[in-house]
């Protein structure tokens, strides 16, 4: 086991106390975002960023861990990130932009022709829930419970839509890596990114956390309330767009099966006790 400081995993302390959790947005009734309720959490430490490719590489080097996608020899890849000449692959019914790609894994997030060579500071993807849990244990931590995730993501704001406030683009500034344009056909790249972005590409929230909206979904520790076969994921991803998925809102939520590895799901780690690299929010 290593410490957060050993892998340059910066952490911040989230203070104990109550906050208003959830949302009254009823666009996705099955997501059960509401009602808004007061929830209390104990203080805890949380990583300022999602786990990066560099940090996950250290984990694999140290433990020899083989991810689920590597064992299965396939994972889900967004079709828009595959080269034009890529051979035809199966799509997900109803979400045909997701392709089943053989030899896609965390080292090759967009298929065997891709690599993470120039993406050391991007969030690791193509990790399933078991992979995420194993990494968290290796670094002496754990995945967040859902209430912890939302309190940390809110950054001290009460019921704001986003980690930075109620405007998606305050003063015309992009604050997250999400889709711009006509999903899934055309991305204008106004925020500068087609796939993942470096974990500190956008400003942090009031607690010092980056990418609590967009970039990659983050696994949590909890099962979905009505389907114990699924685990809650939070935060949205670079594929979220208001035309079909505005789940980059802080109160939004969805789920996936624990064995799912996809090109837009990563993880963030929490800790119960202070350790190296700890800072406090201003």
Give the pLDDT score at 273. Answer: 65
Cα(4)–Cα(270) distance, integer angstroms:
10
Q: What's the pLDDT at 278?
A: 38
Domain residue extents for the chain:
11-279
Which pLDDT does position 281 carry in this prediction?
37
Q: Which residues contact 6 (CB under 8 A, 6 or more apart)?
A: 276
Chain segment 11-56, per-residue pLDDT in tens: 999 999 999 999 999 999 999 999 999 999 999 999 999 999 999 9
Termini Cα distance of the chain: 30
Query: Which residue ranges in the chain fall short of pLDDT 70?
Result: 273-282
So what's the pLDDT on residue 175? 98
Beta strands in the chain, from DSSP E residues, in sequence order: 11-14, 17-21, 37-41, 44-47, 74-78, 91-92, 95-102, 181-182, 186-187, 217-224, 227-234, 254-256, 265-267, 270-271, 278-279
Q: Phi and psi dihedrals of 133, rounded to 5?
A: -65, -40
* Three-class DSSP category at 42: coil
Is CATH 3.90.78.10 the classification given to domain 11-279?
A: no
């Amino acid at each position: 086991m290593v410490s957060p400081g050993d892998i340059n995993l910066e952490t911040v302390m989230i203070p104990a106390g109550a906050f208003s959790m959830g949302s009254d947005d009823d666009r996705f009734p099955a997501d059960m975002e509401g009602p808004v309720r007061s929830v209390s959490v104990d203080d805890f430490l949380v990583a300022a960023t999602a786990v990066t490719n560099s940090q996950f590489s250290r984990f694999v080097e140290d433990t020899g861990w083989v991810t689920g996608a590597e064992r299965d020899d396939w994972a889900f890849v967004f079709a828009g990130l595959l080269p034009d000449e890529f051979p035809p692959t199966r799509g997900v019914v109803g979400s045909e932009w997701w392709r089943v790609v053989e030899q896609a894994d965390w080292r090759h997030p967009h298929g065997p022709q891709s690599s993470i060579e120039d993406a050391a500071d991007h969030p690791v993807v193509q990790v399933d829930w078991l992979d995420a849990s194993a990494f968290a244990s290796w670094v002496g931590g754990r995945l967040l419970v859902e209430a912890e995730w939302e309190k940390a993501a809110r950054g001290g704001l009460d019921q704001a839509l986003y980690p930075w406030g109620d405007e998606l683009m305050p003063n015309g500034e992009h604050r997250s890596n999400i889709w711009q344009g006509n999903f899934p056909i055309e991305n204008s790249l106004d925020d500068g990114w087609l796939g993942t972005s470096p974990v500190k590409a956008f400003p942090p929230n009031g607690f010092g956390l980056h990418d609590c909206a967009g970039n990659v979904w983050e696994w949590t520790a909890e099962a979905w309330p009505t389907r114990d076969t699924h685990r809650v994921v939070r935060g949205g991803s670079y594929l979220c767009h208001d035309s079909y998925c505005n789940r980059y809102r802080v109160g939004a939520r969805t789920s996936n099966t624990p064995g799912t590895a996809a090109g837009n799901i990563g993880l963030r780690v929490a800790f119960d006790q202070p350790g190296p690299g700890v800072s406090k929010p201003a």
